[in-house]
Amino acid sequence: MAGLAESGSNPDVDLLYDINGLAKDAPPWFDRVMEFVGEYGILFGVVLLILCCWWTVRRRGGEDAASSVAALVWAPLAAGIAVLVNVPIRGFVERPRPFRTHEGLEVLVAGKTDYSFVSDHATITMALAVALFVAHRKFGLVGLGLALAEGFCRVYMGVHYPTDVVGGFALGTAVALLLSPVAMALLTPVTKAIERSPRAGWLIRARGASYDGDEQEAVVPGARKEATGAEERDLAA
């Protein structure tokens, strides 16, 4: 299976050279930025996006708060499972990194000695993004955009073929969606139990957030007494 996309006339290889060729024409500082973004930055961005979504969900409240948080908890679990599934896939395909087979590539990250298919970075970011999309559509769309950008960066950096990225996208999506019903069935009761906890309930719903998604109105005891007294005077009059 190691001969996948070995020929220089293969569209996969042609697209690899076209995208990676942009790195040769770019200034060195831009390549350093792309190296950081492609290796760490986008992954950190997707994780930060999930945390922002969690903060939004808990402040909004609503009856679906526990299930939404359960979906967010599923996101990193899905990414971890997808990477584990990728281990035997890589061992079976045994596809070398593109710079080991093809000359003239601009490799921005050195030291990559493992196999190329499928891309771990593409798998992780897509699994996170798809699970995030299940939890919250708007945040999920942003996450999907970041996942696509991650795939482009991996080819730009010269460490993956385009089909490595596509395979990672497919694997991450499959794990996040196919196992989602089982994961939600297991995680939602846990998040609901946490929601009912006096000490840990804030992890699911912010204090003051109502079950219908509206903020509960604060009641000041003194104001309540004054209002009650005014109502009694009106009735007496």
**pTM of structure:** 0.81
- What is the chain's mean pLDDT, rounded? 83
- Each residue's pLDDT tens digit, 114-173: 888 999 999 999 999 999 999 899 999 999 999 999 999 999 999 999 999 999 999 999
CATH architecture of the region 11-236: Up-down Bundle (1.20)
Q: What is the DSSP string of the chain?
A: -TTTT-STTSHHHHHHHHHHHHHHHS-HHHHHHHHHIIIIIHHHHHHHHHHHHHHHHHHH--TTHHHHHHHHHHHHHHHHHHHHHHHHHHHHH-PPPHHHHSSS---SS----S--SSPHHHHHHHHHHHHHHHH-HHHHHHHHHHHHHHHHHHHHTTSS-HHHHHHHHHHHHHHHHHTHHHHHHHHHHHHHHHHH-TTTGGGTS-TTB-TTSSBPPP--HHHHHHHHHHHHHHHH-
Stronger pLDDT, 3 or 121, i.e. the higher one? 121
Q: Sign of the CA dihedral 167, 169, 175, 177? A: negative
Are 38 and 121 spatial neighbours (Cβ–Cβ below 8 Å)?
A: yes
176, pLDDT greater than 60? yes
- Each residue's pLDDT tens digit, 22-72: 988 889 999 999 999 999 999 999 999 999 999 988 888 777 888 889 999
Q: If you search the block for the tokens 């997707």, which residue do you land on?
A: 46
Q: Residue 146: phi, psi to the nearest 5?
A: -65, -40
pLDDT at 59: 84
